[in-house]
Amino acid sequence: MAGENRQGNGINQLSNPLGLYVDDDQTVYVADRSNHRIVEWKWDVMSGQVVAGGNGQGSGAHQLSYPYDVIVDKERDSLIICDYANRRVVRWPRRNGTSGETIISNIDCWSLTMDEIGSLYVTDYREDEVRRYRRGESQATVVAGGNGSGNHLDQLSSPRYVFVDRDHSVYVSDGENDRVMKWVEGAKQGIVVAGGQEQGNGLTQLYYPRGIVVDQLGTVYVADGGNARIMRWPKGATQGSVIVGGNGTGEQSSQLNWPIGLSFDRYGNLYVVDHGNHRIQNSMAIQMYNGSVCMYMS
C-alpha cells in the first residue's frame, strides 16, 4: 500500500514509519518518523499527502521532531500527534493545517488512543505508565502502571502501545517485559493477556511487542516486533498463533521487518506498519469462520 518505493522523503515514500490510524473510509494516517511528518494515504492511491509537519525537523509550531503516533479526533476534526523528540502531544487541523497546538507538554509519549467519549490515553514510557486525559479536565489520571519500572502486575517497563476497549479496559504492550497487559477500569494491577513467559520466539512468548488491537471477543492481536510476526491471542489463551509473518526478517510479501503499528479497518483488513521495510502492508484480510482465522494474501 504505502511506502512501496523504499525508504525516502518523496510523497510516495516513508522513512522509519511507526504508528498509524485507519479512518472509516480506509484513509490511512502514518507517523512518518524520520521525515518528521504525518502522511495521509487515500485508499488505492499510489502516493500520500503531507498533512502535518514536513517542514524540517524542529520544535516550531509548524514542525515535528520524530513523531511516533497519530490518531484522528473526529469531533474536532483534528489530528493528535505524539511529537516524541519535542516531548509534547500536539493537535493539528485535519484539513489544510499549517501549524499545531501543544496540548500536553513534558511527556515522553510513545503512543496514544481515544475512547468513544473523547478521553485521550497516552503512554509515557519513561514514567512507565499510561495516562488518561478527560475532556475538560486539566489533570491526568494514571490508568495503568505508575508504580515504577518493574515486572510485577502493578508495574510496566517501557510501555509502548495502548488500546482501549468499549468497557474502558486499557491494553498495553509492555515492551521490556515482553507481554501485553490488560487493566480493567479502576484496577490497581493488570492481567497478562499475551506473552509474559520471558523473551523468545515460542508461541507462548513475545519479543518486544509493539502495536496492539483487541476485538469485541477479547482476542488480542499484537505486532511481535523482534520476531517479525503478528500474533493472535484468543481471550484466556495460554499461547498465541502466528497470522502474518513468522518467516524470518525480510522484505518479501510473506515477511516483515520489525512490525510496529497495527490496525484493522471496518471491513476486517489488517494494516501493519512494516517499520524496517519503510512500508505499510494491508494485503491481508482476516475473517472469522467457526472460530478459525482465515488469511488472504493479495
- The pLDDT score that the predictor gives to residue 104 is 96
| Burial class of residue 119, CB neighbours in 10 A (0-12, 13-18, 19+) | middle
| Burial class of residue 173, CB neighbours in 10 A (0-12, 13-18, 19+) | buried
Quick check: 164 and 170 in contact, CB under 8 A?
Answer: yes
- The pLDDT score that the predictor gives to residue 291 is 42
- The pLDDT score that the predictor gives to residue 298 is 41
Number of Cβ within a 10 Å radius of residue 137: 10
- Summary mean pLDDT of the chain: 93
Q: Residue 129: pLDDT band by 50, 70, 90 thresholds? A: very high
Residues in the chain, total: 298
* 209-214/129-133 β-pairing: unpaired
- The pLDDT score that the predictor gives to residue 288 is 39
191 three-state secondary structure: strand
105 three-state secondary structure: strand
Question: Is pLDDT above 70 for 296?
Answer: no
DSSP-derived letter for residue 64 is: B
**Domain range summary for the chain, segments of one domain joined by +:** 3-293
Convert 4-36 to b/e letters by CB count within 10 Å (16 or more is b). Answer: eeebeeeebbbbbbbbbbbbeebbbbbbbbbbb
Nearest-angstrom CA–CA distance, 25 and 36: 25
Q: Which CATH class is domain 3-293?
A: mainly beta
- The pLDDT score that the predictor gives to residue 46 is 86
Which tops the pLDDT comparison, 188 or 3? 188
Average pLDDT over residues 147-155: 98
| Burial class of residue 133, CB neighbours in 10 A (0-12, 13-18, 19+) | buried
Residue-wise pLDDT for 198-211, tens only, equals 999 999 999 999 99
- The pLDDT score that the predictor gives to residue 6 is 83
Q: Residue 1: pLDDT band by 50, 70, 90 thresholds? A: low
Question: Is pLDDT above 50 for 98?
Answer: yes
